[in-house]
Structure formats: C-alpha cells, structure tokens
Structure 1
Amino acid sequence: MQPAVLERTNIQIPTSDELVARAAAMVPGLRDRADEIEKARQVPNDVVQMFKDAGFFRILQPKAFGGWEMNPIVFMRVLGELGRGCCASAWIMMILGVHNWEFGLMEARAGEDVWGEDDETIIASSYPPVGDITKVEGGWRIKGRWPTSSGSDHGKWAFIGALEKNEKGIPVDRHALLVKREDYEIIDDWFTFGLSGTGSKSLLIKDAFVPDHRAHSMIDYKLDDRPVNYLFPFAMVFYSSVSSVIIGFAQGAIDVFIEQMQVRVDNGSGAATRLSPYVKDRLANAVAKVRACRARMEHMMAHCTAIVERRELVSNDDRIHYMLDMARIGRECEEAALTIYKCTGARGVYSSNPIQRYLRDTLVAANHITQDADNNAGALGGYLLSGELPPMLYEKPKLV
C-alpha cells in the first residue's frame, strides 16, 4: 500500500514504522545529552527542531493545517522510543505534540489563528483548573497562575484549564482556553528532583480575553462530523500519551541495566554479574511489567479505534476501565525501574550512572495526575458497585 500524499505540501506521509524508526535512531544522541539537559533545566531549541524535522509534531496535527492527522497510537509509539533516550526531551515532545490533536476538537478558526502563518508553531499548556474564568460577550475573561507548564519556553500559545461555574459557584463544565503568548508571563519555579529538564514553569495571566472559538469543553464528549481520529475521548488521548512516554522511561532504564550487567563483575567473587539468578529474575520481571503496560495501551487503542471508525463513541463503561489501565502504567513502570535499580548497588547512586536519572524521572512522571492509580481504582470500583461516574471527567454534571 502506497503512503498517502499530503496535497497541501506535496510531502509523503510516513508510516508508523518509519516514524518509530526515526525516534529510535535518536535514542543514543538523546541519552548522551540527558545530563546536559537536566542541568540546563530545559530542552534546547535544537532538540525541539530535530523533533520538528522528523515530523513528530505533524502526527496528530489536522491535515487542514499541514499535519498528517494520524491515529494517536502512532504518536504514542514514537514517544515510547524517545523516552528511552532523554526523558525530559520525550516528555516535552509528548506535552507539546499532543496539543496538536486538540485542534481537531475545535472550530477551524482556532487552527487558523495559530498556524495561519506558520504551521510549525508550538503550543504549551497548563490544564489544572486553578484560575478564574468569567463568561463575557463573545468569549471568556481569564486570570490566575497555572503551574507545571512543560516546555513552556517553546510555546507561542498555551492551552489553559479552568472550571466554568454557575451562579451558585457549582462547577458545570471544564474548559481548555487557548491563550496568546503575550497574554501570559512565564514564572521560573521548576526546581525538582526529577524531570528537571522539562522546564515545567508556571504561567501567570493577569487578565486576558479568549474568544469562544479558542475554547472547548474537556468533558463534553459527543458525536459530530469531525475526522475519525479526533473522535477519541479527550482524557483518553492525553492520559495515554503520558503513559506511553513513561513506558519509554522504564524501557530506557532496562536498556542501560542490560548494558551494565553484561560486563559487570562482582567485586567480591569476581564472577560475572549476569550469571546471578537474582539479577536475571529482577530483569525479567521488570521487562514483563513494561511489556504488559505496552500491550494494554496497544489493546486499548486497537479496541477504541474500531469503535470510532464505526463513527461511534467510546462508552463510559470502556472509558472508566481504560482510565485505570492507563493510570496503572505509571505505577508499574516505576516498580519496574526500582526493581532493577536495586541490583545496581553503590554504582547506581552516582550521578554519572544514567540509571538513577531514569528512576528519578519515572518517579516524578508517575506522580502526574494522569497516573493516579489510587483514585482511578476507587472510581472504577465505585462504578462497578453503584454505576456512578466521578464528576467532571466522563460527562457534564446533571444539576437538579
């Protein structure tokens, strides 16, 4: 089967395998720069440009704006490879790249505003609903301070999360609002023990206007005439993108562990460490966890792709099960990384050993709200017992 040809740019759209191969080829170079990027506390422009040149930002971008409009699983596979190299670089590729999918949910005018002159423009974000929005004629007024905007130095726009409340102060919807760079200030407050290189700084908005066409509901999931690859639930695409990059982190730790253990010799006995049943057992169990995580993600996307290709919505029953499946990936990948880390002994504590950085970055990534296995387990258990869904995530609240 011949690859599709993008009429607007007359460029052949690569296959999923080709894109994954491009990501895999970057892994050694990214790994070599991971320490530099961590110390700089941000991913440099040339790495972002490398990702642009490889086409990674076009994977989810609508065709109307020069993208390739591919199934999100392609993006997730690419992230799983990049995560093996430099966790911070892969993380901001995930955050900045997944925003391009979001434009498939919005009016075309939003994409025209951002990509009308430059279809490589990057969008940052901060989705925690911690600020204030007020409905006004033609749009919204927004103000507040939003934390953890990964890769914010590279963005010329930002999606901002906020709750819409009724006259009684009760939340009735959760919105993402697209704000121009000149409307927010970047506050450098990202000082962390892991994922330091992501530059996940805060965004301060003193007062900005966002027109209606640059805002959308993050929870109002409904069927319309959008292209099929934008019919997945918002949370499913965003949560599983985070999960996919964490799979890459854990796999990167496994890669380094294998390299080190193949040549390491026990200081006391002089025996090859690779012969230790303890080392073999921990390695195999870590691999099994990561493979299981990857398989769950692939299964979810294959199942849900079949649903949306029939132009049907993914049911709440499927969604709440899959949300826990994706949230558990963070937990299981941190377990995998810690399992093999315990075999490294004193060698593993030195900052010169990359395996400690993979562990730290995995631990921090697994603390992301999308990886909250506890609350998602409680939500699924409650749903199975009573049929109730947690509010403000699967559907808009039904107010009496």
Structure 2
Amino acid sequence: MTSAFTGGGGSSVEHRDQWLETAASLLPLLRQGANAGEAARQVHPASVDALRSNGLFQMCAPIRVGGAEQNARTLVEVVSCLSRGDASAGWVAMIANCTAWTMGLLPDEARMAVYGGGGDVIAISQFGAGGTATPSGDQFVVDGRWPFASGSDLASWTIGGVKLALERDGTPELRWALMPVSAMTVVDDWNVAGMAASGSKTLVASDLAVPVSWTIPFEQFKGHAFAQWHCDETVFRTSVSAVACLALVAPLWGMVEEAWDITYVEAQSGRPIRQWNYDDARDAPGWRSGLAIARSKIDTGMFHLLRAADDIDDRARRGEVLTIAERSRIRNDQAVATVCFRTALDLLMDLNGARSFKLDNPLQRIWRDFGVASRHGLNNVPLNRDVYAHSLAGLDMEQFYDRL
C-alpha cells in the first residue's frame, strides 16, 4: 500500500488531521507487536511495513523527493500518537522524520542519492560529533563511531556529526555528513532495560568517502543561517537541532497518554483497592486526587511541548531565525514537559499498584521505556534548565552556542 499523502504537498495544517488519523488507525497493530518487538530487539516487521507503506517514516521529507514536508507540530503529534501503541516504533519514526527533515538542508544531488530509488527509504541520524572528516579534493574521508543509532536495523542512510580540524585557532569545524549504512559497520551493543526494540546500536565508519555537498555546515544545521535550496520549502527555514531536541519529548507524551488510558478504562470497571477496603477505587479521595494531578501534569507538559513546536513553525513561516533566548526557552519547555510527563506516569503507576509490574501488563513496559527514553543526552533536564536560567539572568550564552 502506498500512502495517500506521500508527495501530496499542501500545508501541514491541512494534512495534520489526516496524518493523525492514519497514525491512530495503526495503534492496534503496534500494540499487538510491541512485546514481540521488545523480545527481538527491533520493531516488529508488521509494524515496520505499516509505518513504511503509510509514509510515516518520511512524513517530514521534502515534497520533491516523495515526502510531505510536515512541520514540527505535526511531527510531535504524530509521533506521540504512534508511541501510544509502541514506544520504540514511535521513537524510530521520530528519528527517521527528524532525519527526513534534515534532507531539506541538503542539495538535490544528495537528496536523490537517498530517495532516488523510491520514497520509502529510511534514513536515521546521530547528531553528536562522533567522527572526524579529512578533506580530500571535493570529498571528506570520514572515520568515527556513532552510538545510540536508533533504527539501525532498518536504515539505508545515516547523518552523523563530524569534526574538521580546519580552523586557524585549532578549533574544529563541525559538520553533519550523509553516509550510506551499507558502507559502515553496525555494532550490536544495544542491550537495555527499556526501548529495546529501537535498535539503537553503534555505527562505525572507516575511510568512508563523502562528497562535500553531502555535508551540512554548523550554521545551517543549527538554524543560525538558512540553507535555502528551494524558495518554496519554507518549513526547512529553522533549526534542525531545535526540532530534533523537542521531538525527543513526543514519545514521552504518547507513553504517558497510553498509561492514562489504561488507568482510566480500568477505573470505570470499579476496580477495588482491597487493602484499604474500597470496593471501588474511585471512592478513595486519595486515588481521585492522584488521578486529577496526573491529568493536570499531562496537560501542562502537552501545553509546553506544543507551544514550543508552534513557535518553531511560526518562525519558519516568517523566515526568521530563532533567537538564542527563544532557543533557550524551547529547551526549558522540553524540561518542563519531561518532568510533568514523568511525574504523571509515576502517579499512574502508584494508582495501579504493584500489579502494574506483572509481565503481562503493558504498564511495566511503558514504565521501562519511559525511563530510558526520557534520559536521552539531548533531553537532560538539569542542563536544559540551566541554559534557560542563564538566558533569563542575562548571562553570557557563548558556552551554549554550539548546543542551541
């Protein structure tokens, strides 16, 4: 099946509801394959086929190469929806779409290398500078290791950060290089308590030749300057770094919403709290209060997450560069949303009790997946808050420039 939306064009607002409907329609399939995917340490094949055939790995790719050029708000909402069914599947879709978005910063030559054989190619990314690049004519020779390569089992291409020792003061220039996974080694080192099916293994490159045109300079990747290959591709006039960091929180939103749904549905059946002599948990004041606090925390996190996404999209429409102050506040929105979602999930686990950790209860997998996913290096709550605190206090932000 081919997605009705692939290459369809149109605005993100016009198509957002359609993408959400498509994502929601796949939830039964994703839920069905989640346990088997975790056991196999890769997203279940049936889930992969469904996501691929519906264009959900390439939703944010340029229209010119078969994508739909969807914006940050759509990315966040769709990934959240998918993550209700299977957090690892939602996570890989998030990584793939952030990478597809990054293709908007590359020229047609590089885009066609990836998508020229068909629009259902999956590309992933590891934005950390795990490699080095040595100039050689019109190419760079790349060597390096990129851990946490989510979706490595499915990907044909990857984009990884590299350092070029070219600056006169000895400071390495940063770029992001497009590389074929077939020319790399995949090290199977992803053995974890949660998010096992994300396949976040290590990619290794040795003497890999990459055309200079397949790399993205720091200023363009970070959105301090625009790589405007086509004037009509306004969605890409922003910071990939900001979009990707914010998108990391979308699976967390989906997971906590799934935990909420499980808790709420079971509560309607009149589940007792036997140790406290409540025949119906809803009769317990403490249980009701916990439910209200959890819902409020979820909503608060959602408001911060979507506000940040809307701000990114608004700036892109206007063709305006996000200021350092705005980037700093977006990082704080990440932190607030993460803490709110984590607090809500812990409350919901309390309300469900020890039965939540039975292996046949999906809540225990959600809890483990959330624990791992919420601690991604680019979603470090104390450090993101510190960035915002520096900005609010009017302190020098130079130390954070390359992280924003």
TM-score normalised by structure 1 residue count: 0.90
Q: Which residue of 2 aligns with 1:323?
A: 331
Shift in alpha-carbon separation, 1:394–1:206, aligned structure 2, 3 A: closer
- Give the aligned residue type for 2:252: I
Deviates more, 1:149-158 or 1:44-53: 44-53
Change in CA separation of 1:349 and 1:163 when aligned onto 2, cut-off 3 Å: same
- What SS does structure 2 have at the residue aligned with 1:103? helix
Whether the 8 Å contact between 1:265 and 1:273 is mirrored in structure 2 is yes
- Which residue identity lines up with residue 259 of structure 2 in the other structure? A
Q: Partners of 1:380 and 1:327 in 2: how far apart?
A: 10
| Cα pair 1:330 1:365 within 8 Å, conserved | no
Aligned length: 390
Q: How far apart, in 2, do the equivalents of 1:219 and 1:60 lie?
A: 17
Q: Does 1:256 align with 2:265?
A: no
Deviates more, 1:136-145 or 1:206-215: 136-145
**Aligned AA (1:210):** V
* Cα distance in structure 1, aligned partners of 2:67 and 2:360: 40
User: In 2, Cα distance between the equivalents of 1:282 and 1:159?
Assistant: 43
Q: Which residue of 1 aligns with 2:79?
A: 79
1:165-184 alignment runs, 5 A limit: 165-166=165-166, 170-184=170-184
Structure 2 residues without counterparts, runs of 5 or longer: none
What's 1:243 paired with? Answer: 249
Letter of the 1:327 counterpart: A
Q: Which residue of 1 aligns with 2:389?
A: 381
Matches for 1:112-131 after TM superposition, within 5 Å: 112-131=112-131
User: Are 2:33 and 1:26 aligned?
Assistant: no
Against the structure 1 CA distance between its residues 149 and 259, is the aligned structure 2 distance closer, same or farther, given a 3 Å change threshold? same
How far 1:202 moved relative to its partner?
0.8
Task: Specify the code of the residue in structure 1 equivalent to 2:77.
Answer: R
After TM superposition, give the deviation of residue 10 of structure 1 in Å.
6.9
Indicate the residue corresponding to 2:309 in structure 1: 301
CA 12–197 in structure 1, closer or farther in 2 if over 3 Å, else same? same
In 2, the alpha carbon distance for the partners of 1:339 and 1:389 equals: 39
Per-residue CA deviation, residues 235-278 of structure 1 (Å, 9 max, x unaligned), is: 11101111112111111111112223333222242511122222
Q: CA deviation at 1:23?
A: 1.2
Which secondary structure does the structure 1 equivalent of 2:397 belong to? coil
Look up the equivalent residue of 1:123 and give its one-letter code: A
Which residue of the partner structure matches residue 370 of structure 1? 378
- Segment drifting more, 204-213 vs 378-387: 378-387
More deviation in 269-278 or 332-341? 269-278
In the alignment, structure 1 residue 279 sits paired with structure 2 residue 287: yes
Of residues 236-245 and 384-393 in structure 1, the stretch that sits farther from structure 2 once superposed is: 384-393
218, 222, 230: which one pairs with 1:219? Answer: 222
Closer, same or farther: CA 205–320 of 1 in aligned 2, 3 Å? same
Deviations 1:151-187 (A, max 9, x none): 1111111111223334678444332211112220111
Report Cα offsets for 1:278-302 as digits up to 9, x if no partner. 2222222122112112112222232
Q: Secondary structure at the match of 2:134?
A: strand
In the alignment, what sits opposite 1:398?
A: none
1:88 corresponds to: 88
**Structure-1 separation of matches of 2:78 and 2:180:** 28
1:27: Cα distance to partner? 1.9
- Displacement of 1:351 in angstroms is 1.4
- Amino acid of the residue matched to residue 31 of structure 2? R
Q: Give distance in 2, aligned partners of 1:64 and 1:278.
A: 55
Structure 1 gap segments, 5+ residues each: 396-400
Instruction: Kindly state the Cα deviation for residue 387 of structure 1 after the two structures are TM-superposed.
Output: 3.5
Question: 2:7–2:65: 8 Å Cα contact kept in structure 1?
Answer: no
Instruction: Give the whole-Å Cα distance in 1 for the aligned partners of 2:126 and 2:18.
Output: 31
SS at match of 2:79: helix
What letter corresponds to residue 224 of structure 2 in structure 1? Y
Structure-to-structure mapping, 1:187-206, within 5 angstroms: 187-206=187-206
Task: Give the 3 Å change call, closer, same or farther, for CA 190–261 of structure 1 in structure 2.
Answer: same
Question: For 1:162 and 1:350, how far apart are their aligned partners in 2?
Answer: 44
2:321 matched to which residue of 1?
313
Are the equivalent residues in 2 in contact too, given 1:124–1:151 (CA < 8 A)? yes
SS in 1 for 2:85: coil
Which one of the candidate residues 271, 281, 296 is aligned to 1:288? Answer: 296
**Aligned partners of 1:68 and 1:88: how far apart in 2?**
23
More deviation, 12-21/221-230 = 12-21
Task: Confirm whether residue 351 of structure 1 aligns to residue 359 of structure 2.
Answer: yes
Matched position secondary structure for 2:296 = helix
CA contact (8 A) 2:34 2:44 kept: no
Contact 2:387 2:400 in 1 (8 A): no
Kindly provide the amino acid, as one letter, of the partner of residue 266 in structure 1.
I
What is the letter of the counterpart of residue 243 of structure 1?
Answer: V
SS in 2 for 1:15: helix
CA distance in 2, matches of 1:232, 1:88: 27
Pick from 378, 390, 393: which aligns with 2:399?
A: 390
Amino acid at match of 1:113: A
Q: 1:9 to 1:333 in 2, by over 3 A?
A: closer
Taking structure 2 as the reference length, what is the TM-score of the superposition?
A: 0.90
For residues 96-115 of structure 1, what are the structure 2 equivalents within 5 Å? 96-115=96-115
Q: In structure 2, what is the Cα distance between the partners aligned to 1:10 and 1:101?
A: 16
Distance in 2, Cα, partners of 1:389 & 1:253: 40
Q: Distance in 2 between matches of 1:20 and 1:71?
A: 13
Q: Deviations over 1:109-163 (max 9, x none)?
A: 1101111121211112222223322233212111122211111111111111223
Secondary structure at the aligned position of 2:161 is classed as strand
